[in-house]
Every structure is written in C-alpha cells, then in structure tokens.
Amino acid sequence: MSHYVNPSLTAVAAALDSGKVAWRSPSNLALIKYWGKHGRQLPRNASVSLTLSAAHTNSHLSFEKNDKQSGIDFELRYDGIRKEAWEPKTVKFLNSISDVYPFLNGYTLQLDTINSFPHSAGIASSASGMSALALCLVEMEQLLFGTEYTQAEFLQKVSYLSRLGSGSACRSMYPYLAAWGETLHLDGSSDLFGVPVDGVHEVFKTMRNYILIAGREEKSVSSTAGHALMDSNLYADVRYKEADLNFGKLMPALYEGDVKTMGEITEHEALTLHALMMTSHPSYILLLPNTLILLQKIRAFRADTGVPVYFSLDAGPNPHVLVPDAYADQVESFIESELLQHCHEGMMIKDQVGLGSTKLA
Ligand code: DP6
C-alpha cells in the first residue's frame, strides 16, 4: 500500500457537486526501456525518457455527483464522438484506483479526449492519454477536497496514478527528461512514480525527434502482454542487469552533453527491446522490412557524414530519429530524400523534446 491511499477522500466529504478540468500531456520516448514488470505495476528495471511535445493528448474531464452508492458512471468521447468500446479499459483503471480515490464512486464522469497524432499511426497513446487523465483526476481531487500540493507534489501524485494506468505514462508529465524505477544511479528515484531528471545538458533539452511511420497496423501483441512474457524469458535477468548498467553509463552522458554515448546506449536499448520480443515464448516480431531499411540507412548516414543522428524504437515498427537541434536541417533533408520513401504513405511526425504537461483553459 502506498502513502497515497486515502480513505478519507470520499464523495460524502467532497465540497463540490460538479466541475470540469482539462489538461494536455505529451508522449515520451524511453532511452532506457521499461520492459518487464511485477506486483502492482512495478518496473523490473529503471527507465529514462525524453518528454516529447508535438505528440500529445488533450483531455477534458467533467464530473457531477450522483446518487448511486456504487460503481463508476463513465462516458468516453474521442474527438466529440462516443467510444463505448474503449470505455471498459478506463473504467477498469478507475476501479483499480479506488483505494486512492474512493470518491470516484459517487460521480458521473465524462472524458473528452483527442490525440494530436492520427489514430493508429502506430504511436503509443497510452502514455499521453493515461497521464492526461491522471492530471485531470488530481486536479479534480484538489477542487473537491481543497487539497494543497506544491507543483512537485502535484506532479508526483499524477505520476503515481499514471503508473497504475500504464507504466510508461508515469514519465510523461515532466519537462525534458524523466526517470522511473529505483536505482542507485539517481537520487530520489522510485518504483512508485517517475521523477524529473534535473541538470541535464542543454543539447538534450532541444533534441529533435522524427517519428518515421513504417507501418500503421495495430500491434499483434500488446505491450502489457509483452511485459508478461518477460516472466518466462530466459534472458530476463541479464536484461535487467544490463538496463541498470546502461542507466549508470547514460546519466553522466546526459549531464555532460555526450550525444555519442547517449545515442549508442539508446540504439542498443531499442534493439534489445525487440530482441527480447523475439526471444519470448511465444516469440514475436513487431519490426517490418522497412523498419530495418530505415535503421540501416540512419547508421550509414551517420557513418558517412559524422552527423550524430541515432534511432530508437518503441514497441512497434516505427523508428524515432534523434538528433541535436543544430543538425535539424541537414537531417530533415536526409529524411526527405532517403527515408520517406520507406514510410507508409511517406508519413513522418516531427517532434522534439518538450516541457511536459500543461493545463488547458
Ligand atoms: C516499450 O507502458 O505501454 O514503451 O505498463 O503495461 O501499460 P503497461 O506498458 P507500457 O509499456 C511500454 C514500454 C515501452 C518502453 C518504455 O516506454 O519504457
């Protein structure tokens, strides 16, 4: 049980009957990957991510007290259209946090949400979507109960709740870079919530991130199922050890502005993530032929030009191209002339490291 569990937050004690809150939260890209979990959404290793900016979710949450004594009344709209099929997943999450927020039982909730990126563009929406919802919920708590949080406490509680919804979501609300998972390499790190990684070199705060859409198919194996397969993966223990070693090597590189070390670790982590999928039982492959062509071309361009451009991958086929801001023009020309031809309908999303979540009017 956590220190966030608070049975006194009940609908009976709430001061308000209805209200509306709205937040924007971005997606994030892990440099050290979270892959493998246990217990109540606890990570097997510590992870670090870049907070993105252009890829984000906007969510509006309306709440109104009702007379029902049990069950959560919930409606979900995407871009103004009711999506009943998506509701059970969020209801399950809201029920799962009843120890933290017992008051949700007494309210009718309506969530209006929209992503900045096209649906099924192969971009994970759980990190931005879950964190946007958690931001709304913590603000709702504050409105109802008058709870006062410092900015840091507010974000930490948001992160705690986000983690319960989707692990990677707990890193999305912080500016620039965030870490999740207890490790000796970062003071204040925790398995329960993500923390901001302060003091990183400027080069990483303005890093560009281009998402190359190699494929738009729905994933054949969900991330949640992929994490579960780590429990029987013979390479798992070695993986968790290596993740911690990589974390230890990455931190000084982040402080010193060592892009080469950051890039090498990032590529290694991305390929390891997919190697773990390939060595699971049953094994599976999320990479597409075009993914491999894109990765090879990025490495060849780096070798030929000396431009410090690196790739990463999420649990899907779409490479993320990472490069310092100073090389953006050169890399954009390269993407246009060499890479877009291998993307689904020439699709690419331009993004960069960003400032984290923002409250919407
Ligand atoms: C590959 O956070 O989507 O993006 O906790 O089951 O919701 P759940 O999984 P999820 O895992 C995605 C992990 C990853 C790597 C990372 O973001 O660290």
Q: Select from 189, 299, 267, 220 the least CA-distant residue to 29.
A: 267
What's the CA gap between 243 and 267, in Å, rounded? 13
Assess whether the C-beta atom of 204 lies below 6 angstroms from ligand 1.
no
CB 289: neighbour CB atoms within 10 A? 11
Assess whether the C-beta atom of 51 lies below 6 angstroms from ligand 1.
no
Could you state, in order of their start, the residue ranges of all structural domains in the chain? 7-199, 202-352
Q: Say if 7-199 and 202-352 have the same CATH topology.
A: no
Assess whether the C-beta atom of 180 lies below 6 angstroms from ligand 1.
no
Average pLDDT, the chain: 95
From 125, 168, 312, mutation site for ligand 1 pocket: most ligand atoms within 8 A of C-beta: 168
- And the tokens for 303? 């070798």
pLDDT score for 68: 79
More reliable by pLDDT, 78 or 13? 78
What's the CA gap between 195 and 49, in Å, rounded? 11
**Least confident residue range of 86-100, 110-124, 274-288, 331-345:** 110-124
- And the tokens for 110? 């309506």
Q: Decide: 300 and 292 in contact? Cβ < 8 Å.
A: no
Assess whether the C-beta atom of 342 lies below 6 angstroms from ligand 1.
no
Assess whether the C-beta atom of 341 lies below 6 angstroms from ligand 1.
no
Distance from Cα 216 to the centre of ligand 1, integer Å: 18
Q: How far apart are the first and last CA of the chain?
A: 35
Distance from Cα 224 to the centre of ligand 1, integer Å: 7
Q: Kindly tell me the sign of the dihedral angle through the C-alpha atoms of 54, 127, 129, 137.
A: negative
pLDDT over 70 at 121, yes or no: no
- And the tokens for 155? 């974000």
Q: Which fold has domain 7-199?
A: Ribosomal Protein S5; domain 2 (3.30.230)
From 223, 272, 280, mutation site for ligand 1 pocket: most ligand atoms within 8 A of C-beta: 223
Distance from Cα 219 to the centre of ligand 1, integer Å: 13
Q: Whose CA is nearest to atom 4 of ligand 1?
A: 314
What's the CA gap between 179 and 20, in Å, rounded? 30
Distance from Cα 168 to the centre of ligand 1, integer Å: 5
pLDDT score for 72: 87
Segment 164-193 mean pLDDT: 98
pLDDT score for 1: 43
Distance from Cα 227 to the centre of ligand 1, integer Å: 8
pLDDT score for 3: 66
Distance from Cα 166 to the centre of ligand 1, integer Å: 7
Question: Which ligand 1 atom is the nearest neighbour of the CA of 168?
Answer: 2
Of all residues in the chain, the percent with pLDDT exceeding 70 is 98
pLDDT-derived band of residue 120, with 50, 70 and 90 as boundaries?
low
**Least confident residue range of 59-68, 128-137, 239-248, 278-287:** 59-68
- The burial class, CB within 10 Å (0-12 / 13-18 / 19+), for 36 is buried
Q: Which CATH architecture has domain 202-352?
A: 2-Layer Sandwich (3.30)
> Tell me: the pLDDT tens digits for 145-161?
999 999 999 999 999 99
Segment 96-117 mean pLDDT: 94
CB 188: neighbour CB atoms within 10 A? 11
pTM: 0.96
Strands annotated E in 125-279: 177-180, 194-196, 208-212
Most confident of 5-9, 116-120, 137-141: 137-141
